DNA sequence: CCCCAGGCGGTTG
DNA sequence: CAACCGCCTGGG
């Protein structure tokens, strides 16, 4: 199916900007991935984005957040020249509506880690504990449920090679499985309360909580600050900068800044 | 070999 | 409060 056009969605930027870890391109630029129970193959053809999947068009429109008008939400961004540069560079990035549990788990794994290794750990986790789904001539694995991971102990996760993060994954799985934390409820809860709830998990700090709230719960005002963002903010924004200046889509601005700074380094 | 990567929690001053 | 440190692992 034709999902949308390249003005609305740039799949390379969206998949490579660091918000997700389970989309991989082959040498022809075809991206393969799985969202929930639905695998897909996605590519760009001319100015169209083509999705091959058994799931509906609406399913993918929702995943890519295509119903939101990013241009209007980005109005406050232009007041900062550096952000304007980042925005022009990152145009076409969509903030994906990822599964909340998958996002939480993925960003726990991401801490003090590099992307290649993060992807490897997540793939091993899904291959071992997810469900097999066949699509075209390939096998995909769902992201394992919190219930499944809550049954495990750290020894079970040794094969992951995730180091000290394994215990954090299990802590999170138990919190979610026991309904001590109900992620889906936090989608509609205020941003502050959602963050505070996530911080209850041992192994989830402010950075991981903010990433989960933005990428897994779609609270678009969330503004995660990692080492790259810290550099960019120090270098190019006022000392008293507050992300609320950027409006209710500050999280989109964060992603533009993060992507630009990671791709180009800190420029001055 | 060393350094450190998209942090966190616990301890110390 | 801030600063510091150990933590697992593996990429560069």
Look at residue A64 in the predicted model and tell me its pLDDT: 98
Place of tokens 């999280």: A251
Within 7 A of a protein CB, which nucleotides of strand B? 5-10
Task: Calculate the angstrom distance between C1' of B7 and CA of A263.
Answer: 22
* Distance (Å, whole) CA A179 – CA A202: 15
Is residue A265 predicted with pLDDT exceeding 90?
Answer: no
Of A174, A203, A50, A245, residue with least CA distance to A112: A203
Q: A146: which 2 tokens?
A: 């919190």
A165 touches strand C (CB under 7 A): yes
pLDDT band at A266 (very low <50, low <70, confident <90, very high): confident
* Distance (Å, whole) CA A105 – CA A183: 12
What is the 8-class DSSP label of residue A130? S
Nearest nt (C1') from A114 Cα: B5
Look at residue A51 in the predicted model and tell me its pLDDT: 98
Helix (H) or strand (E) holding A102: helix A100-109
A163 touches strand C (CB under 7 A): yes
Determine phi and psi for A233, rounding to 5 degrees.
-65, -45
pLDDT single digits (tens) A49-103 = 999 999 999 999 999 999 999 999 999 999 999 999 999 999 999 999 999 999 9
Residue A208 · residue A112 · CB < 8 Å: no
User: Mean pLDDT over residues A149-166, rounded?
Assistant: 96
Within 7 A of a protein CB, which nucleotides of strand C? 7-12
Look at residue A162 in the predicted model and tell me its pLDDT: 96
pLDDT band at A139 (very low <50, low <70, confident <90, very high): very high
Task: Calculate the angstrom distance between C1' of B12 and CA of A206.
Answer: 22
Q: How far from the centroid of its chain's Cα atoms is residue A153's Cα?
A: 26
Q: How far from the centroid of its chain's Cα atoms is residue A25's Cα?
A: 17
Residue % of chain A over a pLDDT of 70: 99
Is residue A12 predicted with pLDDT exceeding 80?
Answer: yes
User: Mean pLDDT over residues A164-185, rounded?
Assistant: 97
Is residue A268 predicted with pLDDT exceeding 90?
Answer: no
Q: Which residues contact A58 (CB under 8 A, 6 or more apart)?
A: none
Query: What end-to-end distance do the CA atoms of chain A give, in Å?
Result: 43
pLDDT single digits (tens) A228-262 = 999 899 999 998 899 999 999 999 999 999 999 99
Is residue A108 predicted with pLDDT exceeding 80?
Answer: yes
Tally: H helices and E strands in chain A = 13, 7
Residue A77 · residue A256 · CB < 8 Å: yes
A265 touches strand B (CB under 7 A): no
Nearest nt (C1') from A113 Cα: B5
Is residue A41 predicted with pLDDT exceeding 70?
Answer: yes
Q: Which residues contact A52 (CB under 8 A, 6 or more apart)?
A: A1, A40, A41, A42, A136
User: Mean pLDDT over residues A145-173, rounded?
Assistant: 96
Task: Calculate the angstrom distance between C1' of C4 and CA of A19.
Answer: 30
């Amino acid at each position: 199916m034709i999902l949308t056009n390249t003005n609305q969605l740039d799949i390379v930027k969206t998949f490579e900007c660091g918000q997700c870890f389970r989309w991989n391109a082959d040498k022809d630029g075809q991206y393969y991935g799985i969202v929930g129970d639905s695998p897909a193959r996605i590519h760009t053809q001319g100015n169209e984005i083509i999705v091959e999947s058994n799931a509906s068009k609406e399913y993918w429109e929702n995943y890519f957040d295509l119903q939101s008008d990013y241009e209007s939400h980005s109005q406050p961004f232009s007041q900062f020249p550096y952000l304007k540069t980042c925005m022009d560079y990152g145009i076409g990035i969509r903030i994906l509506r990822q599964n909340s549990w998958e996002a939480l788990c993925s960003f726990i794994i991401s801490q003090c880690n590099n992307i290649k290794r993060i992807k490897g750990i997540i793939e091993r986790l899904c291959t071992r504990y997810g469900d097999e789904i066949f699509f075209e001539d390939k096998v995909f694995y769902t992201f394992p449920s919190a219930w499944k991971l809550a049954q495990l102990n750290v020894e079970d996760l040794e094969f992951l090679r995730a180091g000290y993060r394994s215990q954090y994954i299990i802590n999170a799985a138990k919190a979610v499985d026991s309904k001590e934390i109900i992620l889906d409820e936090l989608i509609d809860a205020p941003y502050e309360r959602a963050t505070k709830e996530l911080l209850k998990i041992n192994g989830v700090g402010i950075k991981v909580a903010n990433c989960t709230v933005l990428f897994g719960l779609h609270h678009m005002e969330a503004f995660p600050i990692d080492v790259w963002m810290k550099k960019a903010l120090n270098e190019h924004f006022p000392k008293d900068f507050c992300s609320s200046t950027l409006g209710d889509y500050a999280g989109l601005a964060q992603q533009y800044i993060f992507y630009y700074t990671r791709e180009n380094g800190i420029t001055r």
